[in-house]
Structure 1
Amino acid sequence: MRARAGLVGLAVLLGGCGTVPTSSDPVPITQVADPPEDVGIEALPPVAGASPEEVVRGFVDAMASTTRNHPVARQFLTSDAADSWRDTDGITVISADYAPVASDDGTVAVTAGLVGRVDEQGSFTTGDGQSFDQTFRLVQEDGEWRITDPTDGLLQLEPDFARTYDEVNAYFLDPTATRVVPDPRFLVSGESQATALVDRLLTGPSPTLSAGVTNPLAGVELRSNVRIDQQVATVDLTGLPAGTSDALNVLCAQLVWSLDQLDDVRAVRVSVDGAPVDVPGVPDVQTVDDWASFDPDAVPAVSVGHYVAGGALRTVTAGDAAPGPAGTGQYGLSAAAVTADARTNQLGTTVAVAAAGGTATLLVGPYGDALAPVLTAGTFTDPTTAATRPEVWTVRDGGEVIRVPATGSPQSVSAPALPELGTVRVFQLSPDGVRAAVVVDGPDGGELLVGTVARSDDQVTLGDLRAVAPDLSQVVDVGWRTASELVVLAGAQDEDGTAPWSVGVDGWDLTALSRSGLPGQPTAVAAAPSRTPLVVAAGTLWQLVSGTWSTLVRGQEPLPGGAPFYPL
């Protein structure tokens, strides 16, 4: 995959059993052609005289096969169980060090770490630190041990899962219809991946994301499998509602950005009922360059790193003071955020926090001009911005989410589940403004959650908060490296100290980042798409360059400061 490749995915397609015909009659595509023979794991049938533990191990190994219907895996089951077992009900991914233990009563208990689960549409949910425990009952059938009660769906070891599937983003639209929003899905490698991905788009966003995005492809069907010829994917649709010709641009952007991730696709041809779509100014064969304005990770050129030092707002350009009173230190700032307008390439509104005498004040004003107080509280989290709306968000007194529009009064955001989860220490919007990463106080220190921002005519809500990095403890800060990847400062379980990590927005692919060059444990982080991550360590600013943390001005002494951020 050219995009952030997943190591994981979903058995192509955990849906029904019909294939797409070559005629023009549209049908829902829930199962496509079998994957190539070299994809997945070669399943081995049971051997004569196998013990109960060996039968269970063989069954687990055989479920890693991508052959439709898993015929070899069914050989480890009794005849009745083989007929009734449904292998299309998602995948449970467990650690490779699982242990089957047989008992005298004809059962085998399997214990492992629960890595996560993948639903029928390919959405991954992390295991949330849980263990996996399942007991298989076996009986003798024709003189051989066979399993009588398999749980529907597949059970796969993490290495097998990672070897067989790719992580691919299905892209939907943010509420402003100006940017595509990633919705990670896991699909088996092979020729049918493009059709599977478009099918996921037609089916719609994952449950956790659906409230925050729109889907121009809702109700549309494929007339045939997606064809790829000389790296051009042809998508032939039908069933577009009447009067949707004006929406073809967002529909095409959604398809092109999604399919462009695949290794064998460089361009897309979109047809409706066999006729190429006619979008003014866009060629029949489209690329992401034709829809660059929808880039999920676009950042204005003016978005240079900022931080706070000595109560003053500064930039990472040699530590220069930001223009206006905020750059002089007169407000005694502790944190800030700035909006940026990609159309004008200008910085817009500054929202900053000043604390004195046990009271925190939220200040607002045009970038480079005077700031005025708008709210007071005991505490405010560091403000945060998104690239799709001129507004800044923060959390007051650890529990009340506040958004501050560029014009108008601050407004509370409904977050009904937040009070039960803990005091909020960090709150960061994704670049598209559809998700929020939140650090709350937990039993093991800071815990990282990701939620979805839903907007209606009269209300903004933060919901579907869920843990995405259960293997990390003592989370102290988080930033958005891309619209689908987070940078986290935290400790690993059973380890001391804080370090930088990256993790997918769905909790997959937790990876330790370099600590090389840092003078101590990092305490704050800033990240943005196509920008160098920044951290604060030992009270000084550092940037990640070629896998090593270096000072802001290479070859010079580190600059003191904290609360780094990138305007969006």
Structure 2
Amino acid sequence: MTGRGVRAALAGLAAVLLAGCSTVPSSSPVTQITQVPEPPADAVGIEPQAPEPGATPEEVVRGFIDANASTARNHPVARQYLSGAAADSWSDSDGVTVISGDYAPVQAQAGTVQVTAKEIGSIDERGVFAVGSEQVYARTFTLTDESGEWRITDPPDGLLLLEPDFTRTYEQIDVYFLDPTGSRVVPDPRYLVDGEAQPNAVVERLLSGPSPAVGAGVVNPLNGAGLRSTVSVAGQSATVDLTFPAGTGDETVSVAVGQLVWSLQQDQLGLQTVEVLRDGQPLGLPGVPDRQTTADWPALDPDAAPPNAVGHYLVDGGLRRASDGTPSPGPAGTSAYGLSSAAVSVDPRTGQLGLTAGVSTTNSPTGAPAALFAGPYDGDLAWVLDGASFTAPTTAGTRSEVWTVRNGTDVVRLPAGGSPQAVSAPTLAGLGRATTFQLSPDGVRAAVVIEGPDGGRLYVGTVVRAADAVSVRDLRSIAPSVRQVVDVAWRNAGLLMVLAGDPGAQRTVPYTVGVDGFGLTRVITNGLPEQATALAAAPGRQPLVVSEGTVWQLAGGTWVTLVRGAPPLAGQAPFYPM
């Protein structure tokens, strides 16, 4: 985004935020997980055991890995498992490698131990998680005899943690940046050691900027700002004293404050209010109290759920409301267009359902295999584009536009009232054919299912908007262990819901996974018939799934019919307006 565009977005957002300070947020902030490169000096966590006399090489390596889970500064116990020279040179601050808990240390020959495990992922010095590859983690440790005891001579720099130790010691916390319209904060998950230093670590990461994966798609109002002193916490209130570059206007400061409040008022941090000072003095922003909560910045809610955005699905080519199964207004609610998939945008200014787009495989005016239609929610839909195929349309909550992938590789964006525009996706064609493409609620990320030789695979990319072009970059696999993915939706701004094959159950089941690939979890299937084929999800909404040609919703830990006490309703292609 250009500097002029950033300034314009910040100025516009400041006006919106200050005008909306007295309203109540529509949903609570999203919570996620984190890591910090250097544990706090007073951290309390796992107490490792020192080496026992006469320990075998395998026991020494196992003890060293266990001691990596300590939160004590410099990991003094872990260094006791190292030779004298290695203990002096080993760096424990070069990130973290996370491996499965069922690893195997095996002595291949005298003085060497081979460790093999599943690599879960790695966390860099900024706390950014990268999902592991499908290859097995393998590391050979060399040991030497020092005064009759085996000690490691070549430890890998950084920490080597078992997954159970990692999840027990670290927390995921989102640092928030802004989408290019300034409408919402965008989560950027970080992993931080649990402890009193977390609030300061969060602010430092905000000041250092977004992670590379999302950096080109967001705006950082705190760019160039600095901490004048460590973030202070008294009770459940934090005080952040910042200095801004000369000439920074109130509009930028205002947006930065909202960004800070959303980042610091998360459940893991235990903070109820945040006070931001500028050069030691109160900000004095009109309509904003000295001590603030996210309720003072409702316009930034990353998971705002428009009240009119009820679920929809299709029956016999016509659009239906999931709330009661009745047809939507206008011709789209009938079978006039023979729709096979659809999407509806929500006007970010009014909250009303607006631009509607649908794909038809029977009604192309040119006789093509598929056609894209678009128009108002309650009005006529007009033909827009033909193709061999289109993915189900998708919308985001920050702009009135619809996206789809034409012919498996060509990403198309349709603004309200405009003509279809090509979106550059330079790496998509090389990965395969896209069968599903879903924008995140903030419009900064895209989840893509790409067909491969062993079924669909899940990728996430970043939407980058420049002055003269829009692109989808950095498509990366975030759940390489999950195969046969058939659909994906956004549970919230930082969490995906996925339908994929379960080899053990020989069926398709729902999972959730973080936007960075961490925390793959199978979703309960109580009450759900066999072989789910499509799903829909949205912030603050009950997920919808199509199974055996009928539509089901997740409520209270079980899957139930759309109308309580009534038989299942037939339907396909569910979605939530965004």
Task: Give a deviation string over 1:392-412, Cα, whole Å, max 9, x none.
Answer: 000001111111111221111
* 1:138 is the counterpart of 2:148: no
Q: Partner residue of 1:104?
A: 109
Which of 389, 395, 399 in structure 1 is aligned with 2:405? 395
Which of 169, 175, 178 in structure 1 is aligned with 2:180? 175
Partner SS, residue 557 of structure 1: coil
The answer to whether the 8 A contact 1:522-1:535 is kept is yes
Q: Partner residue of 1:314?
A: 320
Determine the C-alpha separation between the residues in 2 that align with 1:276 and 1:464: 41
The answer to whether the 8 A contact 1:3-1:168 is kept is no
* Equivalent residue runs for 1:427-466 within 5 Å: 427-466=437-476
Instruction: Evaluate the alpha carbon distance shift between residue 118 and residue 371 of structure 1 in structure 2; reply closer, same or farther with a 3 A threshold.
Output: same
* 1:353 is the counterpart of 2:359: yes
Runs of 5+ unmatched residues, structure 2 = 1-27
Q: Partner residue of 2:567?
A: 557
For 1:414, the aligned partner's letter is S
* 1:68 is the counterpart of 2:68: no
The answer to whether the 8 A contact 1:488-1:500 is kept is yes
1:248 Cα offset (Å): 1.6
Determine the C-alpha separation between the residues in 1 that align with 2:79 and 2:60: 11
* 1:540 is the counterpart of 2:545: no
Partner SS, residue 174 of structure 2: strand
**Higher mean C-alpha displacement, 370-379 vs 220-229:** 220-229
Determine the C-alpha separation between the residues in 2 that align with 1:376 and 1:362: 6
For 2:43, the aligned partner's letter is P
1:105 Cα offset (Å): 4.5
Q: Partner residue of 2:414?
A: 404
Which of 258, 262, 281 in structure 2 is aligned with 1:275? 281
* 1:46 is the counterpart of 2:51: yes
Q: Partner residue of 1:518?
A: 528
TM-score when normalising by structure 1: 0.94
Determine the C-alpha separation between the residues in 1 that align with 2:177 and 2:348: 21
Which of 166, 170, 175 in structure 2 is aligned with 1:165? 170
Instruction: Evaluate the alpha carbon distance shift between residue 67 and residue 423 of structure 1 in structure 2; reply closer, same or farther with a 3 A threshold.
Output: same
For 1:297, the aligned partner's letter is D
The answer to whether the 8 A contact 1:220-1:237 is kept is yes
* Equivalent residue runs for 1:8-19 within 5 Å: 9-10=34-35, 12-14=36-38
Q: Partner residue of 1:288?
A: 294
Task: Give a deviation string over 1:99-140, Cα, whole Å, max 9, x none.
Answer: 111122421100001111111111111113231100111111
Q: Give the % identical residues.
A: 57
Determine the C-alpha separation between the residues in 2 that align with 1:489 and 1:297: 22
Instruction: Evaluate the alpha carbon distance shift between residue 454 and residue 35 of structure 1 in structure 2; reply closer, same or farther with a 3 A threshold.
Output: farther
For 2:494, the aligned partner's letter is S
Q: Partner residue of 1:224?
A: 229
1:343 Cα offset (Å): 2.6
Instruction: Evaluate the alpha carbon distance shift between residue 479 and residue 346 of structure 1 in structure 2; reply closer, same or farther with a 3 A threshold.
Output: same
The answer to whether the 8 A contact 1:474-1:490 is kept is yes
Q: Partner residue of 1:362?
A: 372
Task: Give a deviation string over 1:446-484, Cα, whole Å, max 9, x none.
Answer: 101111111110111111111112222111001101000
1:232 Cα offset (Å): 1.2
For 1:36, the aligned partner's letter is A
Determine the C-alpha separation between the residues in 1 that align with 2:402 and 2:90: 51
* Equivalent residue runs for 1:138-287 within 5 Å: 138-261=143-266, 262-287=268-293
The answer to whether the 8 A contact 2:348-2:398 is kept is no
Determine the C-alpha separation between the residues in 2 that align with 1:468 and 1:495: 23
Determine the C-alpha separation between the residues in 1 that align with 2:399 and 2:116: 47
Runs of 5+ unmatched residues, structure 1 = 15-31
* 1:34 is the counterpart of 2:50: no
Q: Partner residue of 1:26?
A: none
The answer to whether the 8 A contact 2:30-2:303 is kept is no
**Higher mean C-alpha displacement, 497-506 vs 514-523:** 514-523
Determine the C-alpha separation between the residues in 1 that align with 2:456 and 2:406: 17
**Higher mean C-alpha displacement, 238-247 vs 549-558:** 238-247
Determine the C-alpha separation between the residues in 2 that align with 1:241 and 1:113: 50
Determine the C-alpha separation between the residues in 2 that align with 1:103 and 1:528: 51
1:35 Cα offset (Å): 3.9
Task: Give a deviation string over 1:145-204, Cα, whole Å, max 9, x none.
Answer: 111111111000011111111110000010111110000111111111110111111111
For 1:243, the aligned partner's letter is T
Q: Partner residue of 1:299?
A: 305
The answer to whether the 8 A contact 2:342-2:393 is kept is yes
Q: Partner residue of 1:485?
A: 495
The answer to whether the 8 A contact 2:29-2:301 is kept is no
Q: How many residues align?
A: 546
Determine the C-alpha separation between the residues in 2 that align with 1:85 and 1:3: 39
Determine the C-alpha separation between the residues in 1 that align with 2:495 and 2:541: 13
The answer to whether the 8 A contact 1:9-1:164 is kept is no
Determine the C-alpha separation between the residues in 1 that align with 2:74 and 2:519: 28
The answer to whether the 8 A contact 1:128-1:467 is kept is no
The answer to whether the 8 A contact 2:40-2:195 is kept is no
**Higher mean C-alpha displacement, 299-308 vs 287-296:** 299-308
Determine the C-alpha separation between the residues in 1 that align with 2:532 and 2:487: 9
The answer to whether the 8 A contact 1:381-1:396 is kept is yes
Determine the C-alpha separation between the residues in 2 that align with 1:347 and 1:247: 31
* 1:467 is the counterpart of 2:472: no
1:561 Cα offset (Å): 1.0
Instruction: Evaluate the alpha carbon distance shift between residue 129 and residue 5 of structure 1 in structure 2; reply closer, same or farther with a 3 A threshold.
Output: farther
1:229 Cα offset (Å): 1.5
Instruction: Evaluate the alpha carbon distance shift between residue 419 and residue 430 of structure 1 in structure 2; reply closer, same or farther with a 3 A threshold.
Output: same
For 1:219, the aligned partner's letter is G
Determine the C-alpha separation between the residues in 2 that align with 1:468 and 1:244: 39
For 1:427, the aligned partner's letter is F
The answer to whether the 8 A contact 2:203-2:260 is kept is yes
The answer to whether the 8 A contact 2:34-2:189 is kept is no
The answer to whether the 8 A contact 1:520-1:537 is kept is yes
1:70 Cα offset (Å): 1.0
Partner SS, residue 252 of structure 2: helix
Instruction: Evaluate the alpha carbon distance shift between residue 241 and residue 446 of structure 1 in structure 2; reply closer, same or farther with a 3 A threshold.
Output: farther
1:263 Cα offset (Å): 4.0
Partner SS, residue 300 of structure 1: coil
1:317 Cα offset (Å): 2.7
